[in-house]
Amino acid sequence: MRTLRDIPALRETLGEYRQRGQRIALVPTMGNLHAGHLALVEAARRHGDVVVATIFVNPLQFGPSEDLDAYPRTLADDQDKLAQAGCDLLFTPDTAMLYPRGLDGQTRVCVPAVSEGLCGGARPGHFDGVSTVVSILFNLVQPDTACFGEKDYQQLAVIRKLVEDLHFPIEIVGVPIVRADDGLALSSRNGYLDPDQRATAPSLYRTLCELRNALEAGEPIATSLETGLARLRESGFEPDYLELRDADLAAVTATTRDAVLLAAARLGPTRLIDNLTLTLPR
Ligand code: PAF
pLDDT of residue 96: 97
Q: Is the CB of 28 under 6 A from ligand 1?
A: yes
Report the alpha-carbon distance of residue 154 to residue 156 in Å, rounded: 5
Distance 31 CA to ligand 1 centre (A): 9
Q: What is the mean pLDDT of residues 34-48?
A: 98
Kindly state whether residues 19 and 108 are assigned to the same domain.
yes
Rounded to 5 degrees, what angle do the CA atoms 216, 219, 225 make?
95
Kindly state whether residues 171 and 195 are assigned to the same domain.
no
Kindly state whether residues 169 and 194 are assigned to the same domain.
no
Which among 144, 175, 206 is the end of a domain?
A: 175
Kindly state whether residues 221 and 255 are assigned to the same domain.
yes
Kindly state whether residues 49 and 151 are assigned to the same domain.
yes
Q: Is the CB of 152 under 6 A from ligand 1?
A: yes
Indicate the pTM of the whole model: 0.98
Kindly state whether residues 114 and 195 are assigned to the same domain.
no
pLDDT of residue 212: 98
Going by alpha carbons, the residue nearest to atom 5 of ligand 1 is 130
Kindly state whether residues 117 and 212 are assigned to the same domain.
no
Asked if residue 181 belongs to a domain, the reply is no
Which among 119, 148, 175 is the end of a domain?
A: 175
Nearest one of 84, 83, 70 to 30, comparing CA atoms:
70
pLDDT tens by residue, 161-192: 999 999 999 999 999 999 999 999 999 999 99
Asked if residue 182 belongs to a domain, the reply is no
Q: What is the mean pLDDT of residues 217-236?
A: 98
Domain that holds residue 97: 2-175
The bridge status of strand 258-267 relative to strand 238-246 is antiparallel
Structural domains counted in the chain: 2
pLDDT of residue 203: 98
Kindly state whether residues 62 and 194 are assigned to the same domain.
no
Asked if residue 183 belongs to a domain, the reply is no
Tell me how far apart the terminal alpha carbons of the chain are, to the nearest angstrom: 51
Asked if residue 180 belongs to a domain, the reply is no
> Any idea what DSSP says for residue 31?
S
Kindly state whether residues 61 and 144 are assigned to the same domain.
yes
Report the alpha-carbon distance of residue 44 to residue 25 in Å, rounded: 5
Kindly state whether residues 258 and 123 are assigned to the same domain.
no
pLDDT of residue 224: 98
Mean pLDDT across the chain:
98
pLDDT of residue 55: 98
Report the alpha-carbon distance of residue 249 to residue 241 in Å, rounded: 14
pLDDT of residue 44: 98
C-alpha torsion sign, points 56, 76, 146, 93: positive
pLDDT tens by residue, 44-102: 999 999 999 999 999 999 999 999 999 999 999 999 999 999 999 999 999 999 999 99
Asked if residue 250 belongs to a domain, the reply is yes
Q: Is the CB of 55 under 6 A from ligand 1?
A: no
Q: For the domain that residue 113 is a member of, what is the CATH number?
A: 3.40.50.620
DSSP H/E element including 53 = strand 50-55
Output the CA torsion 237→31→17→174 (10° steps). -10
Asked if residue 145 belongs to a domain, the reply is yes
Catalytic residue check, 37: yes
- The residue type at 249: L
Going by alpha carbons, the residue nearest to atom 3 of ligand 1 is 29
pLDDT tens by residue, 112-168: 999 999 999 999 999 999 999 999 999 999 999 999 999 999 999 999 999 999 999
Report the alpha-carbon distance of residue 7 to residue 228 in Å, rounded: 47
Distance 118 CA to ligand 1 centre (A): 17
Kindly state whether residues 120 and 198 are assigned to the same domain.
no
Q: For the domain that residue 222 is a member of, what is the CATH number?
A: 3.30.1300.10
Kindly state whether residues 15 and 147 are assigned to the same domain.
yes
